[in-house]
């Protein structure tokens, strides 16, 4: 600061105005008199009343909410619905709550979850099929429309803490890479926290996990199981919220991987069920059916449906088939039993924290038991998605591994139908075996007749409005500036309060993969569509569900006018709820990509250090020539890149100084090793696959240095047509169940790896058209 500024010298430049600022002393006139500042009235904090916008909060008596969703769990699978599988903790919830015996879903996972979270029909919100695909039609975008706010979004806006755990499968899988977009991931649809998997299924011992909006390394340590992890995380999230904001209500959405394939459980649970099902599925169905009548989950007049087409009489099977099929059912039972124990830990936590009585708990399944294991079951569900059938002799080679970490097993049709006892057909079908599912509601504060049953018709779209009704919150007309679609579900809170309450739903349409149905005031019309045939050729059956629980007696010939009226009603509902256009494409859509999909970019480079890439975003190498190159400097052993797992995929790796490539075709290994050691210094190692027929070609290993490229080995390979793998991609390691048994663990590369690059050729035919031909009639025997 200058001396002039501090002096009284009126001749200085700093004193030429009438007033001079003297730092720290206010304003002064030329004569040195201080100028008084006149404050305006109302300009000080002391004269104002502070105010804060109140944080949103639900009504004071609103409950906490937990929604537990099982996957592919049939109507009779839970002990409290008829089976002999041990589910004491679910039975406990049923004993303290209500069981609904007339609860219905959509017959498939993503569509049911869309109904559940949005309170609207799945076609209305854009989820005709799985979230895997966007067909370009408004009924099949692979996401829930933002004009249909989820119950998580609504409750979050009302002050709830919101947690999601487990399976999501509600974001288009084209958008499920580490770069997003994330607007349809759980945190984009109303949840504060997420710990789970974005796709439709995952390995239970080494799952592909996302935390909030970022992937984490798949866990693979001894003793890990996903169901345990999900409940650990749920308890942690709730406990943290209770410790830091105990006055805030919470919503927990817990969607297990169980009991979707792979059916995997700790060894102790597998051992527990050894021999339990040696008498076969026919006896099991009869035993479970008798128990259902004792429990009241089916009416006294109900009949046991005959075996579905393709299911053989147990006594007609040979010993090898019986041994195999029993082992598969044992694995399923162990999986469900183990999951029940985890639910028990959550209930114990809630009870110990005095939270149980003030929590509304909903437990449900998303569809009926799965037919995707096929006639014989499967050791590798990727075979189903690639239209490859596994025979008994093939499967017996893996019998000792069923239920463990190296298989992706599913049970056969006979056991799936047992899980749907006493009903017909399965998941995917609009017969009751696909759409009638277990539902338990536990709310001690509001339910007066704990342990009772309800037989009023309820659909998945009714869950969300019932939750909002219980909380005391209304669905908004607009949300985040977007006008909202009308809620199409109806609250059934009145049914919770009284067993004599009239049903809140009298009509419900169904459509899945071309299968159609309509239920209206007890009567149901239904088709079993044959893929690829004209819809006008579908044969409609008619059932009086009030007297024919299992849809055994077709009344279409004796009541043609009623059938015609129901068919007309189906078309009216289809117009109302955006069902059209009808589309019976199924798994062949897994090869369908939106224009501009990143997986079809001709050249993609992945530097070492990128996180695990889930299978939805791996480069699309199906039925085309491609090259994979890895740039490194110096030697080293380990994986350069691995896609998939023991059920299918590929691995490019260096072992003992030699480059190797394995293509795992549904468990069959095509492997080639280089005939010379890798070069010293800077080089590119790779594999060049040249297609020479549909889904076939030659894979050639190469070394490339400044001196040029040298081929060092080749092998003929058959590639998978539809789904490349059930697991994602890792650079510099193999995080999951290893693609090949040629190495153990992650086999992390020990040298200096810069990047791995995929170079894709455009030499394949139209995949969708080729797949449609291959898949024609493929669903007809399901």
Q: pLDDT tens for residues 670-705? A: 999 999 999 999 999 999 999 999 999 999 999 999
- What dihedral do alpha carbons 38, 41, 43, 49 form, nearest 10°? 150
Q: pLDDT tens for residues 144-157? A: 999 999 999 999 99
pLDDT band at 597 (very low <50, low <70, confident <90, very high): low
Q: pLDDT tens for residues 164-195? A: 999 999 999 888 888 899 999 999 999 999 99
Return all residues near 164 (Cβ < 8 A) that are at least 6 apart. 152, 186, 191, 193, 194, 195, 196, 252, 253, 255
* Half-sphere exposure in the Cβ direction for 251 (13 Å, CA): 28
Structure tokens at 223: 């003793």
Closest CA to 238 of 340, 341, 361: 361
pLDDT of residue 366: 98
87 with 80: CB under 8 angstroms?
yes
How many Cβ atoms are within 10 Å of 331's Cβ, its own excluded?
26
pLDDT band at 378 (very low <50, low <70, confident <90, very high): very high
Its sign, for the CA torsion 532, 586, 762, 721, is: negative
Cα 560–Cα 564–Cα 569 angle in degrees, nearest 5: 150
Alpha carbon separation from 197 to 201, 255, 646, 651 (Å, rounded): 8, 10, 19, 23
pLDDT of residue 156: 98
760 with 635: CB under 8 angstroms?
no
Which range among 293-307, 372-386, 412-426, 622-636 shows the weakest confidence by mean pLDDT? 372-386
pLDDT of residue 600: 64
Which residues on adjacent β-strands are paired with residue 746?
none
pLDDT of residue 553: 98
Instruction: For residues 121 and 488, give the distance between their C-alpha atoms in angstroms, rounded to a whole number.
Output: 7
Which residues on adjacent β-strands are paired with residue 512?
515
Return all residues near 300 (Cβ < 8 A) that are at least 6 apart. 293
Instruction: For residues 220 and 61, give the distance between their C-alpha atoms in angstroms, rounded to a whole number.
Output: 43
Is the pLDDT at 40 greater than 90? The verdict is no
Instruction: For residues 420 and 313, give the distance between their C-alpha atoms in angstroms, rounded to a whole number.
Output: 17
Instruction: For residues 151 and 164, give the distance between their C-alpha atoms in angstroms, rounded to a whole number.
Output: 12
Instruction: For residues 114 and 124, give the distance between their C-alpha atoms in angstroms, rounded to a whole number.
Output: 10
Is the pLDDT at 212 greater than 80? The verdict is yes
Residue 651 phi, psi dihedral angles, 5° rounding: -145, 130
How is residue 149 annotated by DSSP?
-
Residue 22 phi, psi dihedral angles, 5° rounding: -110, 115
pLDDT of residue 23: 45
Helix (H, G, I), strand (E, B) or coil at 574: helix
Instruction: For residues 220 and 314, give the distance between their C-alpha atoms in angstroms, rounded to a whole number.
Output: 38
Instruction: For residues 439 and 83, give the distance between their C-alpha atoms in angstroms, rounded to a whole number.
Output: 15
pLDDT band at 5 (very low <50, low <70, confident <90, very high): very low
Burial of 269 (0-12, 13-18, 19+ CB in 10 A): buried
102 with 455: CB under 8 angstroms?
yes
Is the pLDDT at 249 greater than 80? The verdict is yes
Structure tokens at 457: 């018709």
Structure tokens at 257: 């991987």
Matching residue, tokens 């309170």: 119
Cα 584–Cα 589–Cα 591 angle in degrees, nearest 5: 160
260 with 200: CB under 8 angstroms?
yes
Asked if the peptide bond before residue 425 counts as cis, ω within 30 degrees of 0, the response is: no
- Indicate the helix (H) or strand (E) that contains 664: strand 658-665
pLDDT band at 773 (very low <50, low <70, confident <90, very high): very low
Structure tokens at 506: 């009298």
Which residues on adjacent β-strands are paired with residue 211?
195, 214
Structure tokens at 63: 């409950």
Q: pLDDT tens for residues 574-596? A: 999 999 999 998 777 877 777 76
């Amino acid at each position: 600061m200058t001396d002039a500024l501090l002096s009284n010298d009126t001749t200085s430049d700093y004193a030429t105005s009438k007033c001079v600022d003297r730092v720290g002393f206010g304003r002064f006139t030329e004569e040195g008199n201080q100028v008084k500042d006149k404050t305006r009235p109302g300009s000080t904090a002391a004269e104002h009343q502070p105010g804060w916008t109140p944080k949103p909060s639900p009504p004071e008596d609103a409950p906490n909410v937990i929604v537990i969703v099982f996957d592919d769990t049939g109507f009779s699978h839970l002990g409290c619905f008829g089976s002999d599988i041990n589910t004491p903790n679910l039975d406990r919830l049923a004993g303290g709550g209500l069981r609904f015996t007339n609860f219905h879903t959509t017959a498939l996972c993503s569509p049911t979850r869309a109904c559940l979270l949005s309170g609207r029909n799945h076609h209305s919100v854009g989820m005709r099929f799985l979230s895997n695909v966007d067909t370009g039609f408004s009924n099949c975008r692979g996401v829930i429309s933002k004009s249909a706010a989820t119950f998580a979004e609504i409750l979050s806006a009302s002050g709830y803490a919101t947690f999601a755990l487990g399976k999501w499968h509600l974001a288009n899988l084209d958008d499920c890479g580490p770069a997003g977009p994330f607007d349809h991931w759980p945190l984009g649809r109303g949840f504060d926290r997420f710990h789970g998997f974005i796709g439709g299924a995952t390995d239970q011992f080494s799952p592909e996990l996302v935390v909030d909006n970022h992937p984490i390394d798949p866990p693979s340590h001894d003793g890990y199981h996903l169901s345990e992890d999900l409940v650990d995380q749920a308890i942690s999230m709730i406990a943290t919220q209770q410790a830091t904001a105990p006055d805030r209500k919470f919503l927990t959405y817990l969607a297990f991987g169980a009991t979707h394939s792979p059916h995997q459980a700790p060894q102790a649970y597998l051992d527990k069920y050894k021999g339990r099902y040696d008498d076969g599925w026919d006896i099991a169905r009869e035993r479970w059916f008798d128990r259902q009548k004792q429990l009241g989950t089916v009416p006294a007049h109900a009949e046991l449906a005959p075996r579905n087409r393709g299911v053989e009489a147990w006594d007609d099977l040979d010993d090898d088939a019986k041994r195999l099929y029993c082992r598969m059912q044992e694995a399923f039972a162990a999986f469900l039993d183990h999951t029940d124990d985890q639910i028990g830990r959550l209930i114990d936590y809630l009870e110990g924290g005095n939270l149980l009585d003030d929590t509304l708990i909903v437990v449900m399944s998303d569809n009926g038991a799965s037919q995707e294991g096929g006639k014989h079951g499967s050791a590798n569900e990727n075979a189903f998605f690639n239209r490859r059938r596994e025979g008994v002799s093939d499967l017996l080679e893996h019998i000792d591994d069923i239920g463990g970490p190296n298989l992706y097993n599913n049970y056969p049709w006979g056991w799936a139908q047992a899980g749907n006892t006493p009903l017909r057909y399965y998941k995917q079908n609009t017969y009751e075996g696909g759409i009638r599912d277990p539902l338990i509601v536990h709310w001690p504060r509001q339910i007066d007749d704990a342990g009772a049953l309800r037989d009023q018709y309820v659909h998945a779209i009714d869950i969300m409005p019932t939750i909002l009704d219980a909380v005391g919150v209304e669905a908004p007309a607009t949300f985040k500036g977007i006008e909202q679609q009308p809620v199409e579900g109806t609250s059934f809170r009145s049914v919770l309060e009284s067993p004599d309450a009239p049903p809140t739903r009298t009509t419900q349409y169904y459509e899945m993969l071309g299968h159609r149905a309509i239920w209206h005031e007890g009567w149901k019309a239904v088709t079993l569509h044959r893929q690829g045939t004209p819809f006008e050729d579908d044969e409609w059956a008619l059932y009086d569900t009030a007297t024919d629980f299992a849809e055994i007696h077709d009344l279409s010939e004796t009541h043609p006018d009623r059938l015609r009226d129901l068919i007309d009603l189906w078309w009216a509902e289809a117009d109302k709820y955006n069902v059209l256009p009808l589309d019976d494409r199924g798994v062949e859509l897994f090869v369908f990509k939106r224009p501009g999909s990143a997986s079809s970019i001709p050249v993609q480079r992945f530097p070492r250090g990128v996180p695990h890439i889930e299978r939805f975003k791996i480069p699309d190498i199906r039925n085309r020539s491609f090259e994979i190159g890895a740039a490194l400097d110096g030697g080293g052993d380990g994986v350069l890149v691995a896609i998939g797992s023991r059920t299918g995929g590929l691995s490019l790796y260096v072992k003992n100084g030699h480059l190797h490539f394995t293509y795992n075709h549904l468990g069959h290994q095509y492997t080639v090793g280089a005939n010379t050691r890798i070069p010293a210094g800077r080089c590119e190692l790779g594999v060049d696959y040249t297609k020479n027929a549909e889904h076939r070609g030659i894979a050639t290993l190469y070394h490339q240095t400044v001196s040029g490229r040298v081929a060092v080995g080749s092998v003929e390979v058959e590639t998978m047509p539809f789904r490349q793998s059930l697991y994602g991609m890792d650079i510099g390691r193999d995080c999951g169940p290893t693609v090949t048994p040629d190495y153990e663990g992650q086999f992390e590369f020990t040298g200096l790896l810069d990047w791995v690059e995929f170079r894709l050729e455009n030499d394949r035919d139209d995949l969708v058209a080729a797949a449609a031909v291959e898949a024609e009639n493929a669903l007809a025997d399901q």
